[in-house]
Amino acid sequence: MAEILREIDEELRQDQLKVLWRKHGTVIVAAVLAVVVGVAGFQGWRYWEAEKQRADATAYAIALEIAAEGDTNGALNQFTTASEDAGDGYKLLMRFQAAALKAEDGDIDGAVADYERLAATTGIEDFYRDLAVLMLVLRKSEAGISDGSADRIAPLAEDGRPFRYTAREIGAALALEAGDLDTARAYLTRITDDLTAPQGARGRAAEILAALGG
């Protein structure tokens, strides 16, 4: 009887954890997307540097307007055409935005393929390759796909990596989905024990650890 009660308690606890992840998952996605918006803001500042950047900014804005009107295919075509002649900064931004549009339109396979290509792109900073992997895993997670994601996210959670806190949260969520509570606790504890981690991330990690009973 004690064993049965323990199993029931464990199942209820995991259900609670899934609810917590659904609650906080949107926050994490929003935080990552904010980075992309930040890149756009930086490029907006560079807009004033030269005529070429002004042209790139205009082409990018046109694509966004087309997307806002609901014409995803038209926006993707605009991004593709504009990126061929765009400078490195806007070319990268357009590629990220195109992948995001595909995901939002339900084309997860297309988005994942775009993020894979971004992650494999040479000549760009590790920051952007890590961002591509992070977005790839998040988009797959939103679609209920987790195969291989744990292995992809683990390197991003290491000390010194730019998205380590978000990667640790995602790593914990993936572990919870797989029923690997020990790995989930390890990821979450790395967040709560790190005084340099964002307060929001530490709060979420502490809440889920409490639900885990550790």
Residue-by-residue pLDDT tens, the chain, 214 positions: 334 334 434 444 455 555 555 555 545 555 555 555 555 554 554 444 556 677 888 888 888 888 888 898 998 898 888 888 888 888 888 898 899 889 889 899 999 999 999 999 988 888 999 999 999 998 888 888 878 899 999 999 999 999 999 999 999 999 988 889 999 999 999 999 999 999 989 999 999 999 888 5
Question: Residue 130 has what pLDDT?
Answer: 93
User: Which of helix, strand or coil describes residue 124?
Assistant: coil
Cβ neighbours of 177 (radius 10 Å): 18
Closest listed residue to residue 210, CA positions, set 12, 13, 9:
13
Residue 8 makes CB contacts below 8 A (sequence gap 6+) with none
Q: Which residue do the tokens 């790839």 mark? A: 136
Closest listed residue to residue 82, CA positions, set 66, 71, 103, 104:
66
Q: Give the angle subtended at the CA of 108 by the CAs of 102 and 110, to the nearest 5°.
A: 65
CA–CA gap between residue 8 and residue 44 (Å, rounded): 54
Question: Residue 29 has what pLDDT?
Answer: 54
CA–CA gap between residue 93 and residue 60 (Å, rounded): 9
pTM for the structure as a whole: 0.73
Question: Residue 61 has what pLDDT?
Answer: 84
Question: Residue 3 has what pLDDT?
Answer: 42
Report CA 146 to chain centroid distance, whole Å.
14
CA–CA gap between residue 164 and residue 191 (Å, rounded): 9
Question: Residue 64 has what pLDDT?
Answer: 83
